[in-house]
Amino acid sequence: MPVINLNPDSPTRYDRLTMTLHWLTALLVIGLFASAQVWEQLAKGTPLRKELQALHISCGILLAVIVVVRLLWRLSAGLRLSPANRGVMNLMAKTAHVALYALLLSQIVLGFVFRWAQAEPFNFFGLFDVPTLITFDKSLKSVFGGLHEQVAWVIVILAGLHAVMALVHHYVLRDNTLRRMLPHGSN
Task: Give pLDDT tens digits for 118-138.
Answer: 998 999 999 999 999 999 998
Reply yes or no on whether the pLDDT at 46 is more than 50: yes
Owning domain of residue 100? 16-177
Residue 183 lies in a domain: no
Question: Which residue, 83, 80, 95, 109, is CA-closest to 158?
Answer: 95
What is the phi-psi region of residue 139: left when phi exceeds 0, alpha when psi lies from -120 to 50, beta otherwise? alpha
Residue 186 lies in a domain: no
Domain-embedded: residue 187: no
Return the pLDDT at 62.
98
* pLDDT value of position 156: 97
CATH of the domain at 170: 1.20.950.20
For residue 81, pLDDT beyond 70: no
Of 5-14, 58-67, 101-110, 114-123, the one with minimum mean pLDDT is 5-14
122 domain-assigned: yes
Q: For residue 166, tell me if it sits in a domain.
A: yes
Nearest-5° Cα angle at 10, 7 to 15: 140
The average pLDDT across 65-76 equals: 93
Under 8 Å between Cβ of 140 and 160? no
Number of separate domains in the chain: 1
- The alpha-helical segments, DSSP class H, found in the chain are 16-40, 47-76, 88-118, 141-168
Full-model pTM: 0.86
